[in-house]
Amino acid sequence: MQIWDILKDRKGRNSAITARQLASITSINEREVRAEVATLRRKGCPIASSTGKPYGYYLPAGANEARECQAQLYSRMKEIGITARALDQAFGEHLPSKQMVLDLFGSESV
């Protein structure tokens, strides 16, 4: 059974399914589950995830659930940026005259 076949029926956060559960159902490991979810997202599948209970992947039941997931993702992006800057500064790699350009919304073709 494919990941999308399972997730397409998981509407709403209360129907979330964890990577571990998906791995068990599909007989692939959790890392492969996360990679497949990432691929599906890049193809435009609106797969949300939650880092709080209930944990896991799901399809948002509405705009509020989608915004909740987006807020979590943007917060993680911010934390990653802070960590990257700290490493730049700690190891002298920071180039103040240069700007880092991030492709936040993936210009790669699907």
Rounded to two decimals, what is the model's pTM?
Answer: 0.75
Q: How far apart are CA 85 and CA 92, in angstroms?
A: 10
Q: How far apart are CA 71 and CA 107, in angstroms?
A: 21
pLDDT at position 1 = 63
pLDDT < 50 positions in the chain = 109-110
β-bridge partners, 7: none
pLDDT at position 97 = 52
Q: pLDDT averaged over the chain?
A: 86
pLDDT at position 12 = 96
Domain covering 3-90, topology:
Arc Repressor Mutant, subunit A (1.10.10)
In the chain, what are the domain boundaries? Answer: 3-90
Tens of pLDDT, residues 23-35: 999 999 999 999 9
